[in-house]
């Protein structure tokens, strides 16, 4: 249960940072979009846990721990260097703008600047836009979920707990995150990355 809570807290930091960035750009996020983001992230995290639970029954525990170790180390390293990557891509936009895959460019644009998620320029996030943000955030949450297996009977509890924690972080980001975004975003990434790496190392013992 402790590792589950730690993973949920770490992946929820991303939701906080994204919503605080939207708030700092004066983009309003109402109740339904908030629920959409939290549901999408929680669903993908739970699907990751479910997949992990099924895989653990068919592959050797040593291999499972090795896969979990690799995923957590990669996620942690990415989290630590994510802001550096964002700054690099921002300066080198031509690297991905030349791709003809519009959907890829769209998600990269949101990744670099969360305010781009406001597609209609209304300064208010709608459900579709919220779902797209949820999908963008869900890659990390799904991968994190794969590193943790639980009994099938506890999967619904996993979803509910993830949703509740995510909701708290999202609301915190919407309400006061804009004021703290610039100060916290770097520290949160470094802290979350270090925690993921430590969890990865713990898989070896």
For residue 74, give the H/E element and its range: helix 61-91
* Encoded tokens for 39: 């549901």
* Encoded tokens for 136: 């963008």
Using only the alpha carbons of the chain, give its radius of gyration.
17
Q: What is the pLDDT along the chain (205 residues), one digit of tens a residue?
A: 677 888 888 888 878 877 877 777 777 888 898 999 999 999 999 999 898 888 888 888 888 888 888 888 888 887 777 666 666 666 665 554 554 444 555 666 666 666 666 666 777 788 888 888 888 888 888 888 888 877 777 888 889 999 999 999 888 877 775 555 555 655 666 677 777 788 788 777 6
Q: How many CB atoms lie within 10 A of CB 162?
A: 27
* Encoded tokens for 167: 């909701």
117 and 110 Cβ atoms separated by less than 8 Å: yes
194 and 44 Cβ atoms separated by less than 8 Å: no
Burial string for 24-55 (b: 16+ CB within 10 Å, else e) reads bbebebeeebbebbbbbbbbbbbbbbbebbee
The CA-based angle 9-18-180, given to 5 degrees, is 85
Coil/strand/helix, residue 118: coil
pTM over 0.85: no
- Report d(CA 143, CA 120) in Å as an integer: 31
């Amino acid at each position: 249960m402790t590792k589950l809570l730690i993973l949920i807290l770490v992946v929820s930091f991303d939701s906080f940072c994204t919503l605080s960035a939207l708030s700092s750009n004066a983009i309003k996020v109402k109740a339904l979009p908030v629920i959409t983001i939290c549901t999408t992230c929680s669903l993908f995290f739970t699907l990751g846990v479910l997949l992990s639970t099924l895989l653990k029954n068919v592959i050797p525990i040593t291999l499972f721990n090795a896969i979990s170790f690799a995923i957590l180390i990669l996620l942690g390293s990415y989290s630590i260097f994510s802001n550096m990557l964002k700054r690099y891509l921002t300066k080198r936009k031509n690297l991905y703008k030349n791709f003809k895959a519009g959907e890829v460019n769209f998600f990269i644009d949101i990744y670099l600047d969360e305010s781009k998620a406001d597609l209609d320029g209304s300064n208010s996030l709608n459900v579709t836009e919220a779902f797209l943000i949820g999908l963008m955030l869900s890659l990390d949450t799904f991968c994190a979920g794969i590193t943790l297996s639980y009994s099938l009977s506890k999967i619904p509890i996993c979803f509910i707990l993830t949703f509740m924690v995510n909701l708290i972080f999202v609301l915190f980001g919407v309400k006061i995150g804009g004021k703290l975004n610039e100060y916290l975003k770097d520290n949160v990434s470094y802290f979350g990355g270090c925690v993921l790496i430590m969890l990865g190392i713990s898989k070896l013992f």
